[in-house]
Structure 1
């Protein structure tokens, strides 16, 4: 009937206008049909970032070839906005004068406690001394214009009574005046425990700049660590040119401390609970793992890191250096990340067994190698904002030419859960949401954040952004600044 009707229509004598309108209608209808079918074809060809159907963990997840992110967005450093590092004293600065008084300090804790609070032995159980990790002579000579550092007390003071003192974190200037009064009565003050931190804010400018001179100029790693660290960087460059340093904080102690058990077996969760229960200096013993994760207080899992980096647009061939200790769950967990990014590298892959032998039983020295590789990386991504992550981010922000992507764990968990439930599709729209979420989390130089609104008393100090994470504005200046 359609053919007959069309013949009758064409057999009649029609005006040129009517014929033109009919042709336009047919053409428009054809375009509609084509676009409708093409949309279905494109939709069928899209691959989600993560499949909502069950599959074995070892199976490689679908990739997203339709994501074409510019190199500059992936690897380019954030704009410095004309800012530069500044650590020189102001014209009002007066270096410490020798008054025959001494402060003795024993460094204890992990690498970053040693960098920021001189803490060397708390959890790491590492026998390394300060001079095993840092270049002691360089430290002494670099700071000689600020403070006199000696290796030993004068013999006549070795047996004199010493005042015993604990440093107090986030103290005001009044606290330091109290310390000065102690020196009126004692020639030597011994710091019993030194894992405290200076206040983040409201300290004199010259104190803050001295802090940066110590952190970024005086603290240089010992020659063996510095040499091997630089060699690891060179070997990475030879492999692929650019690389991401991933601080994958998915280690047994961190999971136990935070109480995060998402994705773990019942046996693993129980093992972590027992570790937390038996670690005396960890105050919180009972933790709701689900609440921790929803609140963004858990390290990203290896699988979540893979989804995150892929959604940012990094291709599967990206070279990733994993800066970490032993990953909890071993290769089974790492395979979840490797299925997204097979080109994972560890220091054990880059260095010979002989080169690493000297650091084998010294976690702090081993972490120092990761620190060097992380500082020198094109992109640094921490899976958790612990001491190492904050120290590296602050150092890179001070240097000013490096990209650091800090995952918004709270926002990411929500998206990951929506992805798992099917509320989100693992397509370009999902990638767009994650890239927008992290648009302003690229390690750019910006003023340090103050305390959270409504928080008063000493509790507010815990909500401030750490000085070690962001030494701006005191140690990063405009060209017009002092």
Structure 2
């Protein structure tokens, strides 16, 4: 008799034996894990390839975006669509050998001499003459004994212009003792004037030019003469290798500190204040010192100057304090790195402290270059001014407190290089703003909007060079024209093309 209770047990046992897996072997285990690893690798590979398409890119934070927009607004990168164009036209012919010579005594500070030298290059071209390397001014306020080769790369200057004008280092020995025509060429003269001056070659083989500044007109000259002036200034008249080398190092060091910086040409120097008769904010003793300096400087013709009238007409440099107020009103934060491109500021640290209240991060040549590096340039104002020039041209923003030769030259160079941002203060209108602040008449919050509105079109943007002031007649009108070297557009700056047009 079969036990009924044992049947289910037997059935379960049969079922288990029917589906029992074979005992795993070492080979099967190894194969299993190999397949699993390969599958995992393939899965990882395909999933990572899909990440850029399936996951959104990380966007900068709102704070980063605002900071980028602010930098773009405050420290612009220039204007696209403009480039230097200084190649000669198809009508231009290479310079010919000439046995007539022009010698030059350049006058003024560094940039007055630079632009004057380039005028003389053009004059030599017009008069079919050989230009002797100019002698530099050693009698100006700075008493700089530098020779041409101390400041400029003499060999580069000669070779870069060899197709335009023949240039020699010295007058030939056999001509050193011959009579020379000593000429004060008329300021702002055009092509016809210098064509007429060729009659001097009938009696002289050498013309000695006593002054070099502003010898050519700003406007109305042939295109090839204008472009020659630009080639001379921007491509030929390089600074000497030691100056160029240190200048570039200073720019790199400034960028390594903050990334971006402002170059401020603070023309609050003793000679400028004495020359313009500007004494606002000075003590009585300082004002008297400046008056005596003006009185005793023979070539300064105007002796009695009303300081208040000068300031109200916008003829005075902004004071360091006024510059601080101005830049703050434009929106520049106190953390902005400001390089002071200037000589000795009148009043020294007392005046600097007024600016440092607004912008604590003030730096100077002495804090960017070492004393050892600056040693070779000591007591040579034009050479140290050349360092300031390089730093200023390469800055993210250039601001000048007065529209002197340095300010005009830097602005023109920055326009030539793509209209780099350059703010020119409207000094005449700012006087009223500053005076209202002093009297407490300007409501809080209005200062920034007023200053920004006044200067929205004074930031180095593309525009044609301005002509003479309306109503001025005679030769005096030429003096009121905007300097060619301040704005070489349109002759040396062209639209549309992206490439740089080098000679």
- The TM-score by the shorter chain falls in which range? 0.7 to 0.9
SS at match of 2:441: coil
Residues 293-316 of structure 1: CA deviation (Å, up to 9, x unaligned): 111000000000000000000000
Contact 2:261-2:395 at 8 Å conserved across structures: yes
Distance apart, 1:366 and its partner CA: 0.6
Residues 265, 79 of structure 1: alpha-carbon distance in 2 compared, 3 angstrom cutoff? same
Paired residue for 1:16?
Answer: none
| Mapping for residues 34-433 of structure 1, pairs under 5 Å | 70-80=70-80, 82-118=81-117, 120-121=137-138, 122-427=140-445, 429-433=446-450
**Partner Cα distance (1:401, 1:275) in 2:** 38
Distance apart, 1:202 and its partner CA: 0.6
Residues 245-264 of structure 1: CA deviation (Å, up to 9, x unaligned): 00000000000000000000
**Partner Cα distance (1:92, 1:462) in 2:** 31
SS at match of 2:225: helix
Paired residue for 2:480?
Answer: 463
SS at match of 1:246: strand
**Partner Cα distance (1:239, 1:69) in 2:** 21
Residues 10-35 of structure 1: CA deviation (Å, up to 9, x unaligned): xxxxxxxxxxxxxxxxxxxxxxxxxx
**Partner Cα distance (1:99, 1:418) in 2:** 62
Give TM-score scaled by structure 2 length: 0.80
Q: May I ask how many residue pairs the two structures share in their alignment?
A: 414
Distance apart, 1:155 and its partner CA: 2.6
Residues 306-360 of structure 1: CA deviation (Å, up to 9, x unaligned): 0000000000010000001111001011000001000000010011111111111
Distance apart, 1:384 and its partner CA: 0.3
**Partner Cα distance (1:244, 1:310) in 2:** 13
Paired residue for 2:47?
Answer: none
Distance apart, 1:84 and its partner CA: 1.5
Distance apart, 1:186 and its partner CA: 1.6
Contact 1:105-1:190 at 8 Å conserved across structures: yes
| Structure 1: runs of 5 or more not aligned | 1-66
**Partner Cα distance (2:426, 2:98) in 1:** 49
Residues 380-422 of structure 1: CA deviation (Å, up to 9, x unaligned): 0000000000000000000015110000001111111111112
Give TM-score scaled by structure 1 length: 0.83
Residues 183-234 of structure 1: CA deviation (Å, up to 9, x unaligned): 1222111122333431101111111000000010001000010011011111
**Partner Cα distance (2:349, 2:497) in 1:** 52
2:434 aligned with 1:435, yes or no? no
**Partner Cα distance (2:377, 2:444) in 1:** 42
Residues 438-462 of structure 1: CA deviation (Å, up to 9, x unaligned): 1011111210000011111111011
- Runs of 4+ aligned residues of structure 1 deviating over 3 Å after TM superposition are 479-482
Of 474, 482, 495, which aligns to 1:478?
Answer: 495
**Partner Cα distance (1:328, 1:477) in 2:** 41
SS at match of 1:381: strand
Contact 1:161-1:186 at 8 Å conserved across structures: yes
**Partner Cα distance (2:77, 2:458) in 1:** 12
Distance apart, 1:68 and its partner CA: 12
**Partner Cα distance (1:303, 1:426) in 2:** 18
Distance apart, 1:478 and its partner CA: 2.1
Over the aligned positions, Cα root-mean-square deviation in angstroms equals 1.8
**Partner Cα distance (2:257, 2:68) in 1:** 23
**Partner Cα distance (2:272, 2:311) in 1:** 14
Distance apart, 1:69 and its partner CA: 7.9
Residues 347, 426 of structure 1: alpha-carbon distance in 2 compared, 3 angstrom cutoff? farther
**Partner Cα distance (2:336, 2:203) in 1:** 61
| Mapping for residues 2-21 of structure 1, pairs under 5 Å | none
Contact 1:233-1:373 at 8 Å conserved across structures: yes
Residues 159-203 of structure 1: CA deviation (Å, up to 9, x unaligned): 222211122210122220122111122211112233343110111
